[in-house]
């Protein structure tokens, strides 16, 4: 047990301008997962999706952090395609945090993992609540942040409460699992109405119609190409209209630039982002669709 874990997390979050929380490692209740449980690129293994012990056998608790975006995205290019690769940034924060927690303990770092449902863990740890767009909304960053988890064999202090360590999170009842998802949107349907493909109809994500997914999908049908609405990679439409998010400035990108780039040029310009994991061919494909 690390009795000073709340103080360590609170100081770390304030120092690095992030949000942080921690929670128990009990399996996730299937009823707590949204209808978008099996969005593309995640595991179909139910045990792996819901039980932290499948990832770290002796796990006792989970530390969850939220790292804000470094810079605004572009009009036709999601912030994921212009910001430094969040996988690297968030993992680095978690490694630094692990170094600041004294003692010999086991841990496993997860960022955008295909296994555990990280959004549900972020809600459980008190970082925020589910928005109708399926993303976690925090008080500090709105939904414009990336989630990282550290599964550990550390025991949480007795009578541990999330709100005791949050800086800019929500804490308190916002982290209680007795509340259903999306309850704190207060009936706002802006993201649902703004989605041009109807992927958020009813407040749950239809991944097959999500523009962000389509821009990353390996093969597109003519109907799917018609749903891309000028997006080169990813999509921030639902986040841009969310009243919990601060507005961002954006610039248009000429798709022709991508059609003329070689693989080496793509790596040189965008190699620092998470965008190239799908490969330059798919990015050129997208440029041809929207040009």
C-alpha angle 143-168-7 in degrees, rounded to nearest 5 = 130
Residues whose CB is less than 8 angstroms from the CB of residue 186 and which lie 6 or more positions away in sequence, other chains included: none
CB 64 within 8 A of CB 125: yes
**Contact in structure between 26 and 61 (CB atoms under 8 Å):** no
Q: Tokens 């997860």 — which residue? A: 110
112 as an active site residue: the answer is: yes
What the block records as the tokens of 94 is 């978690």
Burial of 62 (0-12, 13-18, 19+ CB in 10 A): buried
Angstrom distance (rounded) from CA 269 to CA 267: 6
Catalytic residue among 3, 29, 112, 189: 112
Report the SS3 class of residue 184: helix
Strands 145-152 and 107-111 turn out to be: antiparallel
Long-range pairs of 194-201 with CB within 8 A, sequence gap ≥ 24: 194/237, 194/238, 194/240, 194/241, 195/237, 195/238, 196/227, 196/229, 196/237, 197/227, 197/229, 200/132, 200/133, 200/134, 200/238
Nearest to 90 by CA among 58, 122, 48: 122
For residue 168, give both structure tokens.
Answer: 């800019």
Residue 247, burial from CB neighbour count under 10 angstroms (0-12, 13-18, 19+): exposed
The set of catalytic residues is 112
């Amino acid at each position: 047990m690390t009795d000073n874990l709340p103080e360590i997390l609170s100081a770390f979050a304030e120092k690095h301008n992030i949000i942080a929380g921690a929670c128990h490692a009990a399996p996730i209740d299937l009823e707590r997962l949204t209808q978008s449980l099996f969005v593309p690129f995640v595991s179909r293994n139910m045990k792996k999706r819901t039980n932290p012990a499948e990832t770290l056998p002796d796990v006792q608790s989970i530390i969850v952090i939220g790292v804000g975006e470094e810079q605004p995205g572009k009009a036709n290019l999601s912030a994921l395609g212009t910001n430094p690769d969040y996988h690297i940034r968030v993992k680095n924060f978690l490694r630094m945090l692990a170094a600041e927690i004294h003692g010999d303990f086991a841990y496993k770092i997860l960022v955008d993992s295909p296994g555990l449902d990280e959004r549900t863990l972020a809600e459980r740890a008190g970082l925020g609540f589910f928005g109708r767009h399926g993303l976690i909304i925090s008080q500090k960053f709105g939904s414009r942040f990336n989630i990282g988890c550290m599964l550990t064999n550390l025991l949480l202090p007795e009578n541990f409460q999330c709100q005791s360590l949050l800086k800019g999170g929500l804490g308190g009842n916002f982290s209680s699992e007795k509340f259903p998802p999306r309850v704190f949107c207060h009936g706002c349907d802006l993201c649902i109405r703004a989605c041009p493909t109807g992927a958020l109809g009813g407040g749950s994500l239809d991944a097959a119609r999500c523009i962000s997914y389509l821009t990353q999908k390996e093969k597109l049908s003519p109907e799917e190409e018609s749903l891309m609405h000028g997006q080169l990679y990813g999509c921030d439409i639902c986040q841009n209209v969310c009243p919990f998010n601060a507005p961002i400035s954006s610039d248009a990108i000429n798709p022709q630039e991508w059609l003329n780039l070689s693989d080496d040029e793509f790596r040189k310009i965008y190699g620092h982002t998470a965008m190239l994991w799908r490969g330059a061919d798919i990015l050129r494909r997208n440029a041809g669709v929207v040009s």
